[in-house]
């Protein structure tokens, strides 16, 4: 199984020299792996969600170039077209690419609750974004958890890393 290392390499090369964005993707990948393992995903689901983790913010440079903004809406809009050729090159099939690009296109759309793989990416991204200071130190973290966390593993991880600090 060389698909994920290939995605990791292409994500890194695409973002270089932007180490901050590369590190963000790697951190979200790590948290995704943790939650995916805890939720007993199948190998197929695990592959899809981990590829989505590595590529979830891949549209950010295009968004900055075209709209002068890293706003989530533009990332969602532009991410899939950047991700698609990368996924094809790494050997993902059409169905997998559809699932992964769907997650990329909705990873800031917090009201879709019935797609478990999307929820895992949202949970992993939120934990990393909080650590990176996006919400400031005085945010209502209980509210963030209650509104956005769906998986049991994600909730427990949030308690461990954010609420019980």
Residues interacting with Fe ion, by CB under 5 A? 57, 125
Going by C-alpha positions, the residue among 102, 113, 127 that lies closest to residue 51 is: 102
| Contact indicator for 101, 88 with CB cutoff of 8 Å | no
72 or 164: CB nearest Fe ion: 72
Task: Tell the smallest beta-carbon distance from residue 121 to Fe ion (Å).
Answer: 8
Q: Whole-angstrom Cα distance, residue 28 to residue 134? A: 14
57 or 96: CB nearest Fe ion: 57
77 or 164: CB nearest Fe ion: 77
Q: Whole-angstrom Cα distance, residue 72 to residue 126? A: 13
Task: Tell the smallest beta-carbon distance from residue 24 to Fe ion (Å).
Answer: 6
DSSP E strand boundaries for the chain: none
Task: Tell the smallest beta-carbon distance from residue 125 to Fe ion (Å).
Answer: 4
């Amino acid at each position: 199984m060389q698909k994920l290392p290939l995605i990791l390499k292409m994500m890194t090369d695409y973002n270089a020299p932007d180490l901050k964005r590369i590190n963000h993707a790697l951190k979200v990948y790590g948290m995704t792996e943790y939650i995916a393992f805890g939720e007993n995903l199948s190998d197929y689901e695990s592959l899809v969600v981990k590829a989505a983790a590595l590529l979830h913010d891949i549209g950010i440079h295009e968004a900055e170039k075209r709209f002068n903004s890293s706003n989530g809406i533009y990332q969602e809009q532009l991410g899939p077209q950047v991700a698609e050729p990368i996924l094809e090159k790494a050997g993902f099939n059409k169905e997998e690419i559809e699932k992964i690009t769907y997650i990329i296109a909705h990873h800031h759309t917090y009201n879709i609750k019935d797609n478990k793989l999307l929820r895992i990416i949202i949970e992993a991204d939120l934990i990393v974004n909080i650590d990176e200071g996006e919400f400031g130190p005085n945010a209502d973290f209980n509210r963030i958890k209650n509104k956005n966390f769906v998986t049991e593993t994600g909730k427990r991880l949030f308690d461990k890393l954010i609420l019980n600090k």
